[in-house]
């Protein structure tokens, strides 16, 4: 692929950097080469780095995984789909169903939302927003599809983290949330679904709550259909890397201001 490299002066000119996790920093639970070096350079330049992810693993778990690799961050350095779903659910006067990873119930409860298991439907005698949370280590499973189908078919609106086609696994690409939603809509053609992750407005609101103020900001991601769209929609620059869902050819052909093979290549350029 043809790199459009980013330089130290470029990095220093941003008020903050938003960085995806899966496919950029991590892949299959493994820290990708160059990620820690890149973070150290950004820290030396005095630019805040915030992770923005459509995943919803417990933030403390992510913090621990990165700490084991020598990268120290705090839970508030992560904005995930649990945060954006909680923001959407907080103002609802109707029960909802939401899907996400094991960190979703934590985010919902922290926002003062009553969290119920799907098998508790219909829950009565509860005031305030209620969310039936469908979570698990393997979110896109037959069991989770069954529970979501039953609740959506009963008339509940679904808050969902992502409509991405692909998700980067350790040994290649797997299905993202998009194919899962296609299956649900095949079962319930009139399903009411609100996508809460990148590149959709609920995640913009969640990121705004964390960052505050004006940019300029840089979005670092791996998926032109998600991260680049998210950046363009908000007037941010984008750096795309080819270590995740986007092929080198697609990334090279994208309109991202900066491109690179991965964070290792970015760190090499910044250290040169």
Q: How would you class 179 by CB atoms within 10 Å of its CB: exposed for 0-12, middle for 13-18, buried for 19 or more?
A: middle
8-54+214-271 CATH pick, 3.40.50.1000, 3.10.510.20, 3.40.366.10, 3.30.70.260? 3.40.50.1000
State the pairing for strand pair 30-31/26-27: antiparallel
* Predicted local distance difference test score (pLDDT) of residue 91: 81
The DSSP letter of residue 76 is G
Domain 8-54+214-271 identical in fold to domain 81-195: yes
The average confidence (pLDDT) of the chain is 94
Cβ proximity of 13 and 270 under 8 Å: no
Residue 52: strand pairing partners: 79
Examine the pLDDT at 2 and tell me if it is beyond 70: no
* CA-derived radius of gyration, the chain: 19
- Confidence band of 124 (pLDDT split at 50, 70, 90): confident
pLDDT reading at 127 higher than 80 = no
- Measured distance CA(59)–CA(100) in Å, rounded: 13
Closest of 137, 199, 191, 125 to residue 159, by C-alpha: 191
Average pLDDT, integer, range 1-11: 90
pLDDT digits (tens, 9 = 90+) for 257-267: 999 999 999 99
* Mean per-residue pLDDT, 82-94: 93
- What 3-state DSSP class applies to 242? coil
DSSP element (H, E) containing 84: helix 81-90
The yes-or-no verdict on residue 1 having pLDDT over 70 is no
Tell me the HSE value of 199 on the side-chain side, using a 13 A CA sphere. 19
Q: What is the largest CA-CA distance in the chain?
A: 63
Q: Architecture of domain 81-195 in CATH?
A: 3-Layer(aba) Sandwich (3.40)
Best CA proximity match to 221, nearest among 199, 191, 244, 195: 244
Mean per-residue pLDDT for 4-20? 97
Q: How many CB atoms lie within 10 A of CB 143?
A: 11
Helix ranges (DSSP H) in 154-228: 177-187, 201-211
Q: How confident is the model at residue 93, as a pLDDT?
A: 86
pTM: 0.94
Please report the beta strands in the chain, taking only residues with DSSP state E, as ranges in sequence order.
Answer: 16-19, 26-27, 30-31, 49-53, 78-80, 96-100, 114-116, 130-135, 157-160, 166-169, 172-175, 193-195, 217-221, 237-241, 258-260
DSSP-derived letter for residue 194 is: E
Q: Kindly report, residue by residue over 45-66, the tens digit of the pLDDT.
A: 999 999 999 999 999 999 998 9
8 A C-beta contact, residue 159 and residue 99: yes
Using 50, 70 and 90 to split pLDDT, how confident is the model at 123? confident
Residue 141's pLDDT band, with cuts at 50, 70 and 90, is confident
Residues 241 and 251 sit within 8 Å (Cβ to Cβ):
yes
What is the pLDDT at residue 178? 94
Local confidence band at 70 (pLDDT 50, 70, 90 cut-offs): confident
Q: Where are the domains of the chain?
A: 8-54+214-271, 81-195
For the stretch 18-38, pLDDT in tens is 999 999 999 988 999 999 999
């Amino acid at each position: 692929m043809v790199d459009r490299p980013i330089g130290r002066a470029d990095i220093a000119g941003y008020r903050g950097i938003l960085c995806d996790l899966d496919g950029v920093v991590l892949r299959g639970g493994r820290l990708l080469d160059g990620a820690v070096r890149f973070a150290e350079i950004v820290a030396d330049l005095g630019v805040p780095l915030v992770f923005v992810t459509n995943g919803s693993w417990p933030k403390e778990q992510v913090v621990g995984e990165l700490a084991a690799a020598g990268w120290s961050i705090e839970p508030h350095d992560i904005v995930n789909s649990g945060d954006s779903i909680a923001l959407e659910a907080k103002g609802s006067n109707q029960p909802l169903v939401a899907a996400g990873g094991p960190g979703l119930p934590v985010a919902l409860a922290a926002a003062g939302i009553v969290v119920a298991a799907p098998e508790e439907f219909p829950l009565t005698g509860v005031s305030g927003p209620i969310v039936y949370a469908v979570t698990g280590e393997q979110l896109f499973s037959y069991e989770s599809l069954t529970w979501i189908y039953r609740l959506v078919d009963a008339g509940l609106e679904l808050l969902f983290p992502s409509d991405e086609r692909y998700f980067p696994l350790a040994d290649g690409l797997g299905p993202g949330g998009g194919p899962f939603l296609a299956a649900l809509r095949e079962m319930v053609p009139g399903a009411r679904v609100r996508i809460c992750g990148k590149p959709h407005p609920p995640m913009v609101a969640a990121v705004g709550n964390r960052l505050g103020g004006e940019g300029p900001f840089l979005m670092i991601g791996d998926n032109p259909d998600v991260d680049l769209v998210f950046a363009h929609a908000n007037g941010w620059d984008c750096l795309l890397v080819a270590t995740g869902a986007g092929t080198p050819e697609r990334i090279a052909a994208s309109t991202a201001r900066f491109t690179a093979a991965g964070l290792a290549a970015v760190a090499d350029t910044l250290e040169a």
